[in-house]
Amino acid sequence: MFQAILIEKDGGDVRSSLSDVDDQRLPPGDVTVRVAYSTLNYKDALAITGKAPVVRSFPMIPGIDFAGIVEHSDHPAYKTGDKVVLNGWGFGEQHWGGLAQQARVNGDWLVPLQSPFTLRQAMAIGTAGYTAMLCVMALEWHDVTPDKGEVLVTGAAGGVGSVAVALLSKLGYDVVAVTGRPEEAVYLRALGAKDVLDRAQFTEPGKPLAKERWAGAVDVVGGQVLANVCAAMKYRGTVAACGLAGGMSLPTTVAPFILRGVTLAGVDSVMCPKELRIEAWRRLSEDLDLDKLDALTEEVGLPDVISAAARLLDGQIRGRIIVPIGTEMA
């Protein structure tokens, strides 16, 4: 038996609980991992609370990522004792996820733990940090360099946004953070933001083209905020878009794209190719100031994950939430 957060559906009602689960119920896979740390992300919170139809089949163990140690492997790339990380691949949506003491997965989904990270640090970064790194890489691919001007980060007090601010500032960019929580300005400046703007400046419909300001942007919000960000991009600027906290719609026009050559670069971390995942983790090992991880991180025990999910959706949590599960291994 092992403990896990289990999401079940009874008629139209979704119910989450901390449950004891029989090992025999683990899904098929060629690698079994003893989980050391997982995380609580926005998508996990939606699944646990039933606020959005994230889960594709029931029962489901949520948790879109984990770091742990291989217990058993029939996969040629891994052996017992290896330290591994998993992000995405429908984990916690279609496949039982990381908010559990054990996980059984397809070995092709795993990546080796990148030196010098510990298992805890890997989840302090987690899918949010790995996604932030993919966004930074997307800006670089589109020639958004520090000398081009200011880079905007929306949803900056959240997991992706916090790591994006820390990464971009260390790389020499002038970072402007956008948040709906003005009280987090001190926190964001400590991460490296040069300026902090109120999200209210971006939530109302604006002109198809606004005054040019941003050389690049990392957007986790979507909706009207993303539309206004696009409208204020500099000529040939790039927006790396990776989230929808503000909605699925995009009420914009083609003007920024055909008159200023703006690029809207979609960033997907779920099905990202393995070679790009490994490169993102390598870059994180070089470009993320590990001294800032503690400021980014709150620990929540497995029994408290369900209540923390509600707090996350209510905007009461900043940065990253890590969930220690088998920390004696770390």
In this prediction, the residues of the chain whose per-residue pLDDT falls under 70 are 327-330
Q: Where are the domains of the chain?
A: 2-113+300-329, 127-266
Q: Which residue intervals of the chain are DSSP H helices?
A: 42-49, 119-141, 159-170, 185-191, 223-231, 255-259, 274-287, 293-296, 305-313
Q: For residue 67, list its beta bridge partners.
A: 37, 85
pLDDT of residue 328: 53
Q: Which amino acid does the sequence have at 49?
A: T
For 132-187, what is each residue's pLDDT tens digit? 999 999 999 999 999 999 999 999 998 899 999 999 999 999 999 999 999 999 99
pLDDT of residue 103: 97
pLDDT of residue 330: 46
Angle value at C-alpha 306, between 288 and 188, nearest 5 degrees: 30
Q: Cα(38)–Cα(119) distance, rounded to whole angstroms? A: 10
For 61-102, what is each residue's pLDDT tens digit? 999 999 999 999 999 999 999 999 999 999 999 999 999 999
pLDDT of residue 125: 94
Q: For residue 321, list its beta bridge partners.
A: 40, 298
Quick one: DSSP state of residue 94?
A: T
Q: Do the beta carbons of residue 161 and residue 184 sit within 8 Å? A: no
Of 3.40.50.720, 3.30.70.60, 3.30.260.10, 3.40.50.2300, the CATH number of 127-266 is: 3.40.50.720
DSSP string, 18-51: EEEE-GGGSPP-SEEEEEEEEEE-HHHHHHHHTS
Architecture label for domain 2-113+300-329: Alpha-Beta Complex (3.90)
pTM: 0.90
